[in-house]
Structure 1
Amino acid sequence: MPHTVITLAAASSQQGPGATLRIVLLASIVGAALLAWFLLRGYGNNDDND
């Protein structure tokens, strides 16, 4: 029985880059949205700067 627990613990710690990849992907999407907002906010139709 202890051998099974050790095997399951070792298998669960080697699941690949799933969590890291998910965090990087989420940060990229949020960063792209913020960059698009920052770049596109200057293209408004306000004629106050004549």
Structure 2
Amino acid sequence: MEQFMELNELTTDMLHRLVNKIVVQTDGKVNIHYKFTATAHISAYFQ
């Protein structure tokens, strides 16, 4: 994770390393499931 903290651009490689899946619900909400650790489940919700 630290290797990405100083970068100003999100690349495809970085996205594939950090994000497990992105789910877009029918109401337009976006749920991003990150893969920081095997035991942590962190999601971000955007509207």
Bigger Rg, which one: 1
Could you say which structure has the higher strand fraction? Answer: 2
Could you say which structure has the higher helix fraction? Answer: 1
TM-score range, shorter chain: under 0.3
When normalised by structure 2's length, the TM-score is: 0.21
Structure of greater relative contact order (alpha carbons < 8 Å, 6+ residues apart): 2
